[in-house]
């Protein structure tokens, strides 16, 4: 009852990650998020471990939402979405830019039904540009934005995509910020609006290395933080190596190993070798490595697997992982809301819905007993048998 967005209605028509992640955060903040799926379901229902008919990926991104399944290929399906949009505060979609228009669900149509509606559209390359029709998933944006090429140069290897859908989550979070700003603005004006986010924009604006290119400066040949092998295992140590060397030389009193008259490349190679030797030989074990890094006031972290990350004391103390009903009489782990308020509550409230699970309840809650009667919309509604 103390959730910041309690009473806000969100119609989530999005798929996979960029839109669903924004919807998941809204649900954690207390909004009533109703996810609309086509008859074939969200593709992510096939990804990850299936427990009692719900996959892990789908569960993580759609926990706390209610689910309806609507066939937009029939007139009744389009009419039903219009009826729901007329009662919604927010609508989220991440189709290609022309799809909602072709369905007869473009923003001008929905605005005429509900002047207070805030619609978030996320696409790869924007709604009306020269590349707006391109299919775009996170790896495409990672490649097009320059991030993969930079990472390959830093690693002195070939370009390989990141094992995290960063472009999707960046776009979701930027979209979330814009949505909440629009909700705030509606309090003053009474009017909704269409918020449009291009994934390529979100990726570039969130790229903290882009300044070098913008200023015409050559990007650094090596990252500011590197992974070093130490007597305590692989550790990422933060900071430009010039700073690391100054600390090693000044605090640990390691003499400069570079011979007189050495050129810059020789100096760098010798000093890097000395730094590595200090962490693997001079420091004989993990405790000694950590003590040396702490003396040098260098930020460090273990290179952990995701499973190991769940064992971090901070993760356990903050309850970053919680559990929800697994829909089979047990509990299932899921990520908790990351937001901590001093005077409000944000938390995952339930697991993800089965496809079409709330066809009846959500329609009646939003549309009332007569307009929300599922029988009225029978040609458009789908429900999948549960495992």
Q: What are the catalytic residues?
A: 168
72 CB-near residues (< 8 Å, 6+ apart): 38, 78, 81, 103
Could you give the angle at the alpha carbon of 338 between the alpha carbons of 333 and 341, nearest 5°? 125
DSSP 27: H
Q: Is the four-CA dihedral 121, 125, 130, 134 of positive or negative sign?
A: negative
**In angstroms, what CA-CA distances link 33 with 48, 350, 351?**
23, 12, 13
Task: Characterize 13-51 residue by residue with b for buried, 16 or more Cβ atoms within 10 angstroms of its Cβ, and e for exposed.
Answer: bbbbbbbbbbbbbbbbbbbbbbbbbbbebbebbeeeeeb
Q: Cα(179)–Cα(168) distance, rounded to whole angstroms?
A: 16
Q: Cα(124)–Cα(167) distance, rounded to whole angstroms?
A: 9
Instruction: Determine how many CB atoms are found less than 10 A away from the CB of residue 338.
Output: 10
**Dihedral angle at the C-alpha atoms of 165, 169, 172, 175, nearest 10 degrees?**
-120
Which secondary structure element, helix H or strand E, spans residue 242, and what is its range? helix 241-250
Q: Cα(156)–Cα(222) distance, rounded to whole angstroms?
A: 9
Tell which residue, 57, 281, 6, has the closest CA to residue 165. Answer: 57
Question: By the 8 A CB rule, do 185 and 195 touch?
Answer: no
């Amino acid at each position: 009852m103390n959730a910041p967005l309690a009473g806000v209605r969100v119609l989530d028509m999005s798929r996979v990650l960029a839109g669903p992640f924004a919807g998941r955060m809204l649900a954690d903040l207390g909004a009533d998020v109703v996810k609309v799926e086509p008859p074939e379901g969200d593709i992510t229902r096939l990804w990850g471990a299936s427990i009692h008919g719900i996959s892990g990926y789908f569960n993580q991104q759609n926990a706390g939402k209610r689910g309806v399944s609507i066939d937009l290929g029939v007139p009744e399906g389009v009419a039903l979405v219009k009826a729901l949009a007329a009662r919604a505060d927010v609508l989220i979609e991440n189709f290609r830019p022309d799809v909602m228009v072709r369905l007869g669900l473009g923003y001008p149509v929905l605005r005429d039904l509900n002047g207070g509606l805030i619609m978030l559209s996320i696409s790869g390359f924007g709604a009306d540009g020269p590349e707006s029709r391109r299919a775009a998933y996170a790896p495409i944006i990672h490649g097009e934005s320059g991030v993969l090429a930079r990472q390959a140069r830093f690693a002195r290897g070939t370009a390989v995509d990141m094992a995290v859908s960063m472009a999707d989550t960046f776009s979701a979070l930027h979209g979330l910020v814009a949505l909440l700003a629009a909700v705030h603005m509606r309090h003053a004006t009474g009017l909704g609006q269409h918020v449009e986010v291009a994934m390529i924009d979100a990726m570039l604006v969130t790229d903290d290395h882009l300044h070098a290119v913008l200023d015409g400066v050559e990007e650094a040949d090596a990252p500011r933080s590197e992974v070093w092998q130490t007597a305590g295992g692989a550790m990422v140590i933060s900071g430009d190596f010039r700073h690391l060397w100054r600390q090693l030389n000044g605090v640990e009193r390691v003499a400069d190993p570079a011979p007189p008259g050495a050129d810059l490349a020789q100096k760098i190679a010798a000093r890097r070798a000395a730094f590595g030797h200090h962490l693997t030989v001079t420091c004989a074990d993990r405790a000694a490595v950590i003590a040396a890094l702490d003396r040098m006031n260098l930020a460090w972290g273990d290179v952990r697997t995701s499973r190991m990350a769940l064992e971090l004391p901070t993760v356990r103390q903050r309850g970053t992982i919680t559990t929800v009903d697994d829909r089979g009489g047990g509990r299932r782990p899921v990520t908790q809301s990351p937001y901590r308020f001093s005077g409000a509550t944000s938390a995952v409230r339930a697991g993800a819905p089965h496809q079409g699970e709330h066809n009846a309840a959500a329609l009646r809650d939003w549309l009332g007993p007569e307009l929300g009667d599922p029988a009225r919309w029978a040609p458009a509604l789908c429900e999948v048998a549960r495992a």
